[in-house]
Amino acid sequence: MTEKMDIEVVKGCFKAAKKEDGTINIEELMRGYEEIARLYDMMGSLFTFVSKDMRYRLKALETHRSDKSLSDNYQTVQAVLDYETKNGIKRKSKKGACPEIAHSMRCTSTSSSSSRCSSHWKQATTTANARSSPARLSTRR
């Protein structure tokens, strides 16, 4: 049986991730996301892809953090953003793999919807508007 997610662990990890100088420690952030992945495990096979994707991204981060030539660039979210922006790290081909780490972290680690990347925010609001449009609602029974 899957181990239950502990919301207090998530809360503690995310609080600990934000340092006094405003930087966000990736190790604590990763621990919080691993705990959230447990929630998706508990939700059954319909959400398996979500937990697998989260763990895939966490594994990619861990691989970068354990590489001696890259580890300094993967200690804080800000360092990742600086490093990947400076080096032009972009998405791999559709055959390749996941998007670059920095982009996925910008989109998932913020709590304010206004700070999400513009393409995802636009997509989310368009989808929400389509779901609640009068034309769509009138066709439901």
Rounded Cα gap, residues 2 and 40, in angstroms? 10
Q: Is the dihedral of CA 92, 80, 47, 129 positive or negative?
A: negative
Query: pLDDT band for position 120 (50/70/90)?
Result: very low
Residue 2 lies in a domain: no
Judge if 130 and 82 occupy the same domain: no
Closest CA to 89 of 72, 76, 104: 104
Q: Same domain for 20 and 89? A: yes
Rg (CA), the chain: 18
Domain co-membership, 74 together with 138: no
Determine the pLDDT at residue 113: 38
Model's pTM, two decimal places?
Answer: 0.60
Together in a domain, 122 and 61: no
- Answer whether residue 1 is part of any domain: no
Task: Quick: pLDDT tens for 29-45.
Answer: 999 999 999 999 999 89
Alpha helices per DSSP H over the chain: 7-17, 26-42, 48-66, 77-86, 101-108, 118-131, 134-138
For 41-76, how does the pLDDT look when each residue is reduced to its tens digit (9 = 90+)?
A: 999 899 999 999 999 999 999 999 999 999 999 999
**Are the CB atoms for 25 and 16 separated by under 8 Å?**
yes
